[in-house]
Amino acid sequence: MSLLGENIWINGVIIIAGSAVLVFIGGVFGMLYRGIDRKLVAHMQGRVGPPIVQPFRDVQKLLMKETIIPDGAVSWLFTAAPFVCLITSALLLLYIPLFGLQALLGGFGDALLIVYLLILPSLAFAVGGFASSSPYATVGAQREMVVLMSYEFPLAVAIVTLGWRIGHATIANPFMFSTIAEYPIWSLVGPLGIVGSLILVFTLVVVTSGKGAKVPFDVAEAETEIAGGILVEYSGRNLCLFYLADIIKAFAMSSLVVALFIPYNLSPLVGIGPPVLAGIVDGLFFLVKVFAVMFISISVIRTGMARFKISQVSWVYIIAMTLISLVGLILIAVDLIV
C-alpha cells in the first residue's frame, strides 16, 4: 500500500471513529440537558417533575417496545424516515465546533452548509408523517413544512449578516467556523453593531426554540389538537429514533449559536497552560454555554408561553423575526459605514 493510500485509510478510520464518539457524547449530553430542562420547567411551574435521568429511561423503554407499522402506510418510507432524521441530525455535530475544539469535518463545510443541513431532519420528520397514512400525521406534516419554510429566512439572514461583516475584516472564508472564532463579531463592531449583533442573537434564540419544536412552536406535534401529529402512528424503535434525533438536533442548534456568537475558550483567558487541563476546562465551559442557550431558548420560552396557532407561528417568523433580523443587518451595516 502506498503512503498516500495509507494516509487516506488512516484519516477515514479517524473520521469514522471520531464521528461515532461525537454522536454518542452529543446524544448523552443532549439527553442530560433534556432531563435538566424538564426538571427546571417543572419547578418553574410549581411541579416536582420527572427525574433528570428520565430521557435515558424513555430511550430504554422505547427500545423494548414493539415497532408497529400501520395499515395503509408506505412501509419502507415510514421506516426509513426516523433513520434519515437521526443520521442528518447527527451529521450536524460533525460540522459544528464542539467542546472548544475544531469541528471534525470543519475543513469540508461552513455555516452556510449548516443552514442546508438543518432542513434535512425536518424534511425527514414531515416525510414520515405523510407516509403514515394517518390524517392526524398528515396535518402535523403539513404544519412542519409551514414552520420549516417560516424560520429559514431569518436564520439565513442572521448567518449571512455575520459572515458578511467578518468578510470585511479578513480575506479568509468568513463562513468557516475557524474564521468566525478568530474574528468574533463583538471585536469588529461598535455600539450600533453590538446592538445589531444582539438582535441577531435574539433571532437565533427564537429560531432555536422553533427548531427544537418546543412550546410555543410545537404545532406539528400538538397532542391536544392532532393527537401527537407526525408521531401519532410511531412506536418502539422508530419513535426512539425520532426522540434521539430531536434531542441531538436541539443540542446541535444550541452549539451553533455558541459557535457563531460565543466562540471563546476559557483556558487562554485564565492562563491555563497544560493542554489536557486546558481541554477539560474549555470542554466544560462549552457545555455551560450550550446549557445557557438551551435554558433561554427552550426552558424559559416554553415555561412562559402557551402554544401558538400555526398562523401565529408563521407570522412570528415570516413577518416579525424577518423584520427584526433585517434591523440587525441594517445596524451592523450602518456601524461599518460610520
> Looking at residues 176-181, what average pLDDT do you find?
91
Q: What cell numbers appear for 185 in the block? A: 463579531
Q: Is the pLDDT of residue 13 over 80?
A: no
Q: Is the pLDDT of residue 10 over 90?
A: no
Which residue is associated with the grid cell 460610520? 338
Q: What cell numbers appear for 133 in the block? A: 397514512
CA 238 to chain centre: 21
Nearest residue to 302 (alpha-carbon basis) of 118, 40, 121: 40
Nearest residue to 154 (alpha-carbon basis) of 314, 32, 294, 269: 314
Q: What cell numbers appear for 160 in the block? A: 449571512
Given a contact cutoff of 8 angstroms between Cβ atoms, the answer to whether 308 and 146 are in contact is: no
> How many angstroms separate the Cα of 76 from the Cα of each of 39, 245, 290?
37, 19, 36
Confidence band, pLDDT 50/70/90 cuts, at residue 1: very low
pLDDT tens readout for residues 128-167:
888 888 888 888 888 888 888 888 889 999 999 999 999 9
pLDDT tens readout for residues 245-299:
989 998 999 999 999 999 988 888 777 777 788 888 888 999 999 999 988 888 8
Given a contact cutoff of 8 angstroms between Cβ atoms, the answer to whether 248 and 89 are in contact is: yes
pLDDT tens readout for residues 54-71:
999 989 998 888 888 888
What gap in Å lies between CA 184 and CA 206, rounded to an integer?
21
Nearest residue to 147 (alpha-carbon basis) of 261, 315, 298: 315
Q: What cell numbers appear for 224 in the block? A: 391536544
> Looking at residues 121-134, what average pLDDT do you find?
86
Q: Is the pLDDT of residue 8 over 70?
A: no
Q: According to the 3-state scheme, what is the secondary structure of the chain?
A: CCHHHHHHHHHHHHHHHHHHHHHHHHHHHHHHHHHHHHHHHHHHCCCCCCCCCHHHHHHHHHHHCCCCCCCCCCHHHHHHHHHHHHHHHHHHHHHCCCCCCCCCCHHHCCHHHHHHHCHHHHHHHHHHHHHCCCHHHHHHHHHHHHHHHHHHHHHHHHHHHHHHHHHCCCCCCCCCHHHHHHCCHHHCCCHHHHHHHHHHHHHHHHHHHHHCCCCCCCHHHCHHHHCCHHHHHCCHHHHHHHHHHHHHHHHHHHHHHHHHHCCCCCHHHHCCCCHHHHHHHHHHHHHHHHHHHHHHHHHHHHHHCCCCCHHHHHHHHHHHHHHHHHHHHHHHHHHHHC
Given a contact cutoff of 8 angstroms between Cβ atoms, the answer to whether 105 and 94 are in contact is: yes
Q: What cell numbers appear for 130 in the block? A: 405523510
- For the chain, the straight-line distance linking the first and the last C-alpha, in angstroms and rounded, comes to 60
